[in-house]
């Protein structure tokens, strides 16, 4: 696993802000902006069903699938899929946190 802590190319800041943009008929986009110099740092395009907002729960997940037209599964399967995705996300995040601590233990953040 490779981990990169994103940094502003203009001022070197690691203090960044994610701006989620939703437009009908388009995949959700995230613009990453530097909180210190307001420059654009990066843009991500979220794949259909790829957005997980922690603590927003199943209904939020369903809405995100409906926006992208990916809701062709039965309700039971969707709940299972959501739970698997949530579990996988939290497991992966725990690994990322551990790797972050190892990799960035000497830095200021």
Contact positions toward Zn ion, by CB under 5 A?
8, 10-11, 13, 34, 36-37, 39
Shorter beta-carbon distance to Zn ion: residue 6 or 47: 6
* Closer residue to Zn ion, CB minimum distance, 34 or 65: 34
Smaller CB separation from Zn ion, 11 or 94: 11
* Min CB(46)–Zn ion separation in Å: 23
Cα angle: 88, vertex 90, 94; to 5 degrees? 115
**Which residues, 6 or more positions from 15, have their beta carbon under 8 angstroms from its beta carbon?**
34, 35, 36
Q: Are 100 and 5 in contact (CB under 8 A)?
A: yes
CB of 64 to Zn ion, least distance (A): 30
């Amino acid at each position: 696993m490779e981990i990169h802590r994103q940094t502003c190319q203009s001022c070197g800041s690691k203090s960044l802000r994610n701006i989620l943009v939703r437009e009908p008929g388009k995949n959700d986009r995230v613009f990453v902006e530097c909180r210190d110099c307001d420059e654009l740092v990066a843009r991500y395009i979220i794949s259909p069903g790829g957005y997980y907002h922690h603590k927003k729960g199943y209904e939020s997940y369903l809405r995100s699938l409906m926006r992208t037209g990916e809701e062709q599964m039965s309700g039971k399967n969707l709940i299972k899929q959501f739970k698997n995705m949530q579990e996988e996300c939290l497991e992966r995040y725990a690994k990322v946190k551990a790797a972050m601590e190892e990799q960035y233990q000497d830095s200021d953040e």
